[in-house]
Amino acid sequence: ARLGSELHNAIIRHELYLAYQPVFDLVTGRLACVEALVRWNHPTRGNVPPNDFIPVAERSGLIVPLGSWVLREACTQLAAWRAEYGDAAIGSINVNVAARQLRDPGFVDEVTAVLADTGLVPANLVLEVTESSVVDGRQVRDTLEALHGLGVRLALDDFGTGQSSLSLLRAFPVDVLKLDKSFVDGICDGEDRGRLAVAAAVSQLAEYLDLYAVAEGIETAEQAERLRRMGYRLGQGYHLAKPLPPGEVAVLMTRPA
| Chain positions contacting ligand G, by CB under 6 A | 21, 37-38, 49-51, 54, 67, 70, 96, 98, 157-158, 216-219, 236-238, 243
Give the CA-trace dihedral at 91, 83, 112, 249, to 10 degrees: 50
Among candidate residues 166, 177, 163, the one with its CA nearest the CA of residue 216:
177
Task: Among 104, 131, 157, 180, indicate the residue that binds Mn ion (CB under 5 A).
Answer: 157
Could you give the CA distance from residue 194 to residue 204 in angstroms, rounded to a whole number? Answer: 16
| CA–CA–CA angle 120, 125, 130 (5° rounding) | 160
* Whether the Cβ atoms of residue 61 and residue 101 lie closer than 8 Å to each other: no
CB of 79 to Na ion, least distance (A): 25
Cα distances (angstroms) measured from residue 92 to each of 28, 95, 113, 131, 253 = 17, 10, 17, 22, 13
Q: Does 58 bind Mn ion (CB under 5 A)?
A: no
Give the nearer residue to ligand G in terms of CB position, either 86 or 246. Answer: 246
Instruction: Please state, in angstroms and rounded to a whole number, the distance separating the CA atoms of residues 246 and 151.
Output: 25
Smallest gap, in angstroms, from Cβ of residue 83 to Mn ion? 25
Contact residues for Na ion, defined by CB under 5 A: 157-158, 216
Q: How far is the CB of 70 from ligand G (least distance, A)?
A: 4
Beta carbon nearer to Na ion, 37 or 146 = 37
For ligand G, which is the closer residue by CB, 112 or 220?
A: 220
Is residue 131 a contact point for Mn ion (CB under 5 A)?
no
- List of residues contacting Mn ion (CB under 5 A): 96, 128, 157
